[in-house]
Amino acid sequence: MIFKRSMVSELANSAGGVFTVLFTIVLAVGMVRILSLAAGGRIDNGTVLQMVLYNALTNLPPLLTLSFFIAVLMTMMRWWQDNEMVVWFSSGGRSLFSWVPPVLRFALPFVVAVGVLSIVISPWARSQTEITRNEFAQRDEVNRLAPGRFIETMGGKRVFFIESQGESPNEVGRIFMAERTSKGESTVTAERGTVEINSEGDRYIVLHNGRRHETALDTPVTRVVEFDEYAVRLDIKVDKRLESGKVSAQPMTVLFAGMTPDQQAQIFWRFSWPAAAFLLALFAIPLSASNPRAGRSLNIIIAALVFILYLNAISVVQTWIEQGKFGYMTGLFLLHGFVAMLCALFFIRRVYMMRWLPVWCSPWYWRRRLISSKEN
C-alpha cells in the first residue's frame, strides 16, 4: 500500500542517516581513546586499527537500537507536524495501530542484527580485545619499548627508557631503568641490553657495561656499582596462556554451563538489547503523536527520557542479578514486560484519547468550575 511503501522508504533514509552520524561519533571517540593507549605504551601500535574495529563491533548493539528508535520517532513526528497523519486518519479510515505492521516489518532485520551482534559478535570482539591486551602485556619490557619514550611496567614500579633500537629485535642501545622496591630505589644505566631465556623458560634482560645507583630507605647514602653484565628477571613465562577471563567476553555456551550470578547477569544483558530494539520501535509510534500547533519539543524530551530510563533500568536489573536477587529470566520478564505494558498504555491513550487522570484531577477543570460559578 502507498502509506506502507512511503513509511518504509522514509524509515530507511532516516535510519541510515542517524546510524551514520552516531557511528561516526563513536568511532572517532574510540579511535582517540585507543590512540592515546598506544601512545602511552599500553597497547601495540600495530594493533590500533584492529582494536578500533573490535571497539566498533562492541558498540554496535546499542547504536543500532538507538538509531532505529530515533528513525521511527523522527519519521512519525514529521508526519504529525505536516498533517499527513490527519490525512491518513480521515481519508483512509486508519488508526495509530495501522502503523505497527510496517514498522515491525522494517524493524525485524534490525532486531535480528542486534541479537546476533549482542549474543555472538560483541562477546567475540571483547574476547579478542582482551587477548590482544594480554598478549601485549606478556611481551618483554624491552620489546614494548620505543626509542625516546618512558614506559612504566610492573604497575609503575619499574620504568624503562632507551635511546635507540639495537640491530636485532631483542637488543636495545643506551638503556635506562629505574626501579622501586620495598628496600629502596635504584637506577641503572647501560650501553646496551639483550633478552635471554633460561632452560626453565624464565626471561631475563641482560644489561652490558653499565652502572647501578642504589639508595636504601633507611639511609640517604647512595651506593654506586659498576658492572659488565647485570641481569634483571622478567615476570613473564614464554608459554603463559593467552585468554580472556572476563564474563563479558565469554561465549553463550560457557555462560549457560556456569550460570553463576555474574554469568546470568551477562545473559540478561545480551538478551535485553534485541528486546529493547523491538519495544523501542513500537514505543516510538505513540511517542511521536503530537499537536502540530504545539510543536514537538515535549515529545523529543519524553522520548529521550524513555530511552535513558530504559538503558539505566537494564543496568540496574543487571546489577541486581549480579547480587543474586533473582535470575536472568525473572529480570527479562519483569523489565521488558513492564516496558511492553507501558507501551500498550501509551497506545491506548493515543488511540482512544484517554486521559492519564480523571477530569477532576486537572487544575483547568476547577478553574472552569470557579469561573462558571461566578458567572451564575
- Please report, rounded to a whole number, the percentage of residues in the chain having pLDDT higher than 70: 77
**What's the pLDDT at 155?**
67
- Which is higher by pLDDT, 141 or 343? 343
Q: How far apart are the first and last CA of the chain?
A: 55
Residues 209 and 127 in one domain: no
Give a yes or no: residue 368 inside a domain: no
Give residue 241's pLDDT band: very low, low, confident or very high (50, 70, 90): very low
For the chain, what is the mean pLDDT? 79
Residues 274 and 207 in one domain: no
Give residue 338's pLDDT band: very low, low, confident or very high (50, 70, 90): very high
Residues 154 and 203 in one domain: yes
Residues 6 and 126 in one domain: yes
Lowest mean pLDDT among 61-70, 78-87, 255-264: 78-87
Residues 1 and 83 in one domain: yes
Q: Which residue has the cell 647501578?
A: 212
Beta carbons within 8 Å of 46's beta carbon, 6+ residues apart: none
In this predicted structure, the answer to whether residue 371 has a pLDDT above a threshold of 80 is no
- Which is higher by pLDDT, 109 or 292? 109
Give a yes or no: residue 352 inside a domain: yes
- Give the single-character DSSP code of 250: S
If one counts every other C-beta atom within 10 angstroms of the C-beta of residue 54, the result is 22
Residues 267 and 212 in one domain: no
**What's the pLDDT at 314?**
93
- Give the single-character DSSP code of 147: T
Give a yes or no: residue 57 inside a domain: yes
Number of H helices, E strands in the chain: 11, 6
Give a yes or no: residue 302 inside a domain: yes
Phi, psi of 261 (to 5 degrees): -55, -40
Give a yes or no: residue 317 inside a domain: yes
Residues 57 and 134 in one domain: yes
Full-model pTM: 0.68
**What's the pLDDT at 234?**
66
**What's the pLDDT at 317?**
94
Residues 185 and 305 in one domain: no
Give a yes or no: residue 374 inside a domain: no
Integer angstrom CA distances of residue 6 from 9, 53, 110, 192, 303: 5, 35, 19, 71, 23
Residues 258 and 128 in one domain: yes
Domain stops at, among 175, 209, 233: 233
Residues 206 and 320 in one domain: no
Q: State the amino acid at position 173 in one-letter form.
A: G
Give a yes or no: residue 365 inside a domain: no
In this predicted structure, the answer to whether residue 29 has a pLDDT above a threshold of 80 is yes
Give residue 172's pLDDT band: very low, low, confident or very high (50, 70, 90): confident
In angstroms, rounded to a whole number, what is the distance separating the alpha carbons of residues 29 and 84?
Answer: 39
Range of the domain at 169: 147-233
Beta strands in 119-241 (DSSP E): 151-153, 158-165, 171-180, 184-197, 202-216, 222-237
**What's the pLDDT at 358?**
55
Residues 123 and 258 in one domain: yes
Find the angle CA(73)-CA(78)-CA(79) to the nearest 5 degrees: 100
Residues 87 and 227 in one domain: no
Q: How many domains is the chain built from?
A: 2
